[in-house]
Structures are given as structure tokens and as C-alpha cells.
Structure 1
């Protein structure tokens, strides 16, 4: 069966609808019009990227790879509120933040200096890989390998966006760490499956897990040139 050609504009619109249906405009306090105005400039960026990045017929979410994500930061929508809006593919139980994040610690897991966010509120993330090749690899070593490829590690918000827009990417034994958000200690955030739902937790940077890879991306861009 022939694959439907990838349409970046249609995919961007779909991701906006996903966020709108999940209540992000109300969650952010912006309302539908202002939330729409916040993300609207990014549509042209997605369209421009299609001309140079995507092959005709390229799909989304295939084998743990995604062309782009619309990411809304914690400045707009708190992590404690966005994580429960994730579900597994075909599931109904809401995602959750693990209790091992002691009170106040989640706020300290911020984007690293190397991550270089293009906008504090909303932006696009391109060429995302779930990173299952790093399952069983020490996270510290996986992060070094990704840096050597001139790729960037995903942040917590980007990991939530990945599961929100493409829940089929989070599957058993192919979960992922989010090394783009750190708090200055040896903990590395990660999203995996627990109690039949997505869970945001963390693992030590020196401890490998056979079911936990390291997610990465190619580039980020904001809506303003």
C-alpha cells in the first residue's frame, strides 16, 4: 500500500488541535485566541522545513522517529498539569509524575546550557529519535555519543510533547531518557511505562536499563527569524 505523502502544514494543524482538545489554552491562562497567536508563527517554520528536510512519503512516528514536534514550555503549561494529559497508545489511564521527585525538585530540572532553547514559551523540535539504540547503555555514555553526533538531548517538556502528539512512540522496552533537563546532580529524567500509563521519573546517569534509551533531536527553531 502506498504511503500518504507527509504534509507538514496538516501535521502542524493536527498538533495544535491535540493541544487545544487537551485544554492547553485554558491551562495556560491564555484562552483560545491568544494561545493560537502564540503558536501560529511556527506553522510557517514547519512548512519551510518540509522543503529541505522531509522526503516525499515520509511518515510520522515510524520506528520511533518523528519529523517535528510543537513544544509548549512549562512557562505556558506546568509539567504537573501536562504530564497527566498524556496516555499510552490505545490507553486511557493518565500519565503521572513519579513521587521520587521530592517537593520542589521538578522545578530545578531545567534545560541545560547546551540545549539552547530558541524561545521560552513555544517552539519546534525537528528530527526526533526515541533512541532505543541506547537501551542498556550507561546514560552518561549515551549522552556523550549523542553530543558527538551533533544532536541535542530532549528536555522534559519535549519528552512530554513527544508522548502527547505521538503516544505510539512510548512502548514496552523502548522508553527514553531526557538528558536535556538536569538539576545539577546525577539524576537524568526519563519517561517510561508504569501502571499502564506514562510516567515521568528519573534514573542515575551511571545506571543502565535495558528498557530505557536516550531521546535526541536534530534542531530547534522559534517562530521569529
Structure 2
């Protein structure tokens, strides 16, 4: 299990080389149309001076719907809730991504200290701390690399991804990653499976923090 601070800060992400091999093992490079050697070269040349950055594939190359089934918890694969068929339409909002298929996300924090905050409350607070909310795909990448970061009653939202409606307004759903209880439409067979779902913009949940980072770079 990775070491974490009380607020959920990871202190020991795998090396970038190890992260690249993990993505290759899972077939993420094939989903993204990126040769394995290119992924390895990026990891080798990126350096690791950030003290444990997360290697991420741009969501245009590897969308959430393709990544979610690769998640595992208690031996069960991840899934996207049935009422989020438009999951891949949740795009970066208030977040600027590097213009590259591969990039690094620095200084991850699970945001446990913001549990029982609403997304509406958390977003300006993160900005005030000089932090940026994770995208849904970045959150999935994090769990792919460190499955133990997803703990029952200590899961997280990824409010850097939002859905903009045709009229320009933002959808009130905000994405999150947690562990299914196997109730309702999830189905009993999915109990303890990693779940990509959503919560309302103005609602609070005691078991959801707000995952964030200090920045992104190529």
C-alpha cells in the first residue's frame, strides 16, 4: 500500500519507467495508438525531479470509457455507471493540458481533508491553494498505478472534468471514482468493484475527497 499523509498525499509513486511498463502491461498504449517504445522513451526522457509524478495519457487518446474497465479492486473490474453513457464528453474545465499525447501530473493529493465539501465549495478552495483539480482520466491513471489509493470511505472526486451542455451551461453532474456497494443498478456482482460515477455539483459526501495536483508538464 502506498504511504499517504492524513490529507491523502502520495509519497511514493512508482518510477516513471515502472509506470510506463504498467500502462503497457494493461494495453493502454494500444488503446491510445502510442507505440510501446514511444511510451518508454517518454518516461526515460521526462526525468523524475518532481519526486514522483504521475504519467498520464491525454484523454483525447485514451478516454475514460476505455480506461475504467482496466481498474481492479478485490479482483473485480471497474465500470462506468449506467446513467453516465456520456462519460467521454466530460472535458477539461478550468484546466489546461499540455498539447501532447503523454504528460506528467505533479504532487498528487487525494483531498481527504475536503471530505464533506461540495464540488462548488472545493473548486475555489483548491485554486486558492495553488492547486488544480484532477481530470477523471487522471484519477483513473492514478488508481491504475496505485490501486490501494482507492479505499472504502476514502475515495475522491475529479472535478477538473465537466460536461458543457449545448446551451453552454455546465452539467450539474461531477465525476468521481469510488467503490461500489453492489446496490441498485450496479448489481450485486459489482460489489467492491471500482466505480466511475457522478455526484451533484452542490452536494456533499463524507466519503469523497477532491483529488488535485500542483500542475502538469510535458
1:25 Cα offset (Å): 2.7
1:147-186 alignment, distance < 5 Å:
147-183=127-163, 184-186=170-172
Distance in 2 between residues matched to 1:166 and 1:199, nearest whole Å: 15
1:36 Cα deviation from its structure 2 partner: 2.7
Indicate if the aligned counterparts of 2:63 and 2:137 stay in contact, CA closer than 8 A: no
Instruction: Give the match for residue 209 of structure 1.
Output: 205
Match of 1:189 in 2: 175
SS at structure 2 position matched to 1:160: helix
CA distance in 2, matches of 1:68, 1:83: 21
Q: Which of 101, 104, 109 is equivalent to 2:84? A: 101
Judged with a 3 Å threshold, the aligned counterparts in structure 2 of structure 1 residues 181 and 193 are, in CA distance, closer, same or farther, namely: same
Q: Which of the two has greater helix per residue?
A: 1
Structure 2 spans left out of the alignment, 5+ residues: 4-10, 164-169, 181-190
Cα drift, residue 77 of structure 1: 2.3
Q: Take 2:133 and 2:87, find their aligned partners in 1: how far apart are those partners?
A: 18
1:27 maps to: 31
Preserved contact between residue 42 and residue 124 of structure 1 (Cα < 8 Å)? no
Q: In 1, are the aligned partners of 2:112 and 2:210 still within 8 Å (CA)? A: yes
SS at match of 1:161: helix
Distance 1:17 1:42, change over 3 A: closer
Flag the 1:39–1:154 CA change in 2: closer, same or farther, 3 A: farther
Distance of 1:110 and 1:39 partners within structure 2? 27
Provide structure 1 residue ranges, at least 5 long, that are not aligned to the other structure: 55-66
1:115 aligned partner: 95
SS at match of 2:83: coil
- 1:71-114 alpha-carbon deviations (Å, 9 max, x no partner): 012322232221110112xx210001111214xx22320011x2
- How far, CA to CA, are the matches of 1:202 and 1:221 in structure 2? 27
Say how many residue pairs are matched: 193
Q: Distance in 1 between matches of 2:21 and 2:192?
A: 25
Q: 1:219 corresponds to which residue? A: 215
Q: Residue 130 and residue 206 in structure 1: after superposition, are their counterparts in 2 closer, same or farther (change >3 A)?
A: same
The residue correspondences of 1:8-47 to structure 2 (distance < 5 A) are: 11-30=15-34, 34-38=35-39, 40-47=41-48
Deviation at 1:204, TM superposition (A): 0.5
| Offset at residue 42 of structure 1 (A) | 4.3
What's the TM-score, normalizing by structure 2? Answer: 0.81
CA distance in 2 between partners of 1:17 and 1:115 (Å): 27
For 2:77 and 2:154, locate their aligned partners in 1 and report how far apart those are by CA, in whole Å.
19
